[in-house]
Amino acid sequence: MIDRFVAVKTPFPNTFLIGVQKAGTTTFNNWLSQHPQIYCYQSLKDIPLFVKFAEEKQLNKRLSLETPAYNGESVVLHSAVNYIFYPSLLQKIATRKPDAKLIVILRNPVARAISSYFYLKKMLREKRSIEEALIYQPKKKFEITKYNNDFTYIEHGFYYAQLKTCLQYFSTKQLIVLDYDALKASPRQLLKNVFYFLNIDENFMPDLILKNVTGDLKSRFLQERMLKKNKVRKWIVDHLIDMWLPVSKRKMLKNKFFELNTSAQKQPAASSGISEEKMQHIKNRLREFYLHDTALLDELLGTSFYKKWFAHEVISNN
């Protein structure tokens, strides 16, 4: 009886924002969650449900901790950027929810890789130089691990390969592909298109605030205190946070801290010790990886990303 009650109160998502990293997914998830016809598992953002919660009962129990409670919204949303990255996760969505609707946001893969690098530097997880981190031979196969989630900078930009796999499990009618630049330049029209795709009120317009920007830290000291593990931090978590703060609120509070400690302004690469010449060299090398994949992507989707991202770039020969 209890399990059936939980199942009613904690519906499995019927809509997934599946990627990609550093393409405005946190912001877009926030915009979508404001719609009165969308219920969003906010505190589970970027946590693939099938990885952390392997058993159905375990997953239902975690979903039941979400607040506010589900209130009959027609769209139940979950967002995790690595869904698109791992074929096994797409397969599990298809098995559990074969009629699911999928949303993916694509960004110039060169800019995406560089943005991801600086974001992980800001989060104190990337210790390497930009050349060491971004110039390497990409892997073709990999397990679901934290390292592969974060440090496969090049591999995350192979959109054709990822979407080809996605369309093995879902039809094109179940998938809407968005342009990151359109999200920035014309968010209202983009949202109307997505609301139409989801068959909900297209006239609703959320508060268009930005989230999870890659900008520079206001205080590195505070960032280190928040992120680095130590005995004091562990005691606070074990004796205060665990007792008084629900699990569904912890990640949201942590993300709010990172947001407040991030400047909206980005410093030029040179201020990080990276010359314009070095940055251009890195862009050129990354570009070489993506030309063929992007051409195939356009053939698959009938889009024009190749022309938009690469055809008019001025690339140095150095």
Asked if the model's pLDDT at residue 291 lies above 60, the reply is yes
Mean pLDDT rounded to a whole number for the chain: 85
Query: Are the beta carbons of 104 and 178 closer than 8 angstroms?
Result: yes
Which among 158, 109, 170, 160 has a CA at the least distance from the CA of 300?
160
User: How far apart are alpha carbons 13 and 229 in whole angstroms?
Assistant: 33
Check residue 233 and give its pLDDT.
55
CA distances from 145 to 88, 215, 230 (A): 13, 26, 24
Asked if the model's pLDDT at residue 19 lies above 50, the reply is yes
User: How far apart are alpha carbons 240 and 219 in whole angstroms?
Assistant: 24
Mean pLDDT of 276-293: 96
Mean pLDDT of 121-147: 93
**Domains of the chain, CATH where assigned:** 2-216+262-311 (3.40.50.300)
**Quick one: CA torsion of 200, 205, 206, 209, rounded to 10 degrees?**
130
Residue 213: pLDDT band (50, 70, 90) is: low
* Tens-place pLDDT, residues 169-200: 999 999 999 999 999 999 999 999 999 999 99
Question: Using the 8-state DSSP alphabet, how is residue 70 labeled?
Answer: P
- CA 101 remoteness from chain centre: 17
Check residue 52 and give its pLDDT.
87
Mean pLDDT of 248-273: 55
96 φ/ψ angles, rounded to the nearest 5 degrees:
-80, -35
> Can you state the percent helix, strand and coil of the chain, rounding each to 5?
55, 10, 35
Structure tokens at 156: 């995350």
Asked if the model's pLDDT at residue 5 lies above 50, the reply is no
Asked if the model's pLDDT at residue 274 lies above 50, the reply is yes
Among 6-15, 61-70, 117-126, name the one with the lowest average pLDDT: 6-15
Spell out a b/e string for 138-150, using b for 16 or more CB atoms within 10 Å of the CB, else e. eeeeeeeeeebbb
Asked if the model's pLDDT at residue 60 lies above 60, the reply is yes
Percent of the chain having pLDDT more than 90?
Answer: 67
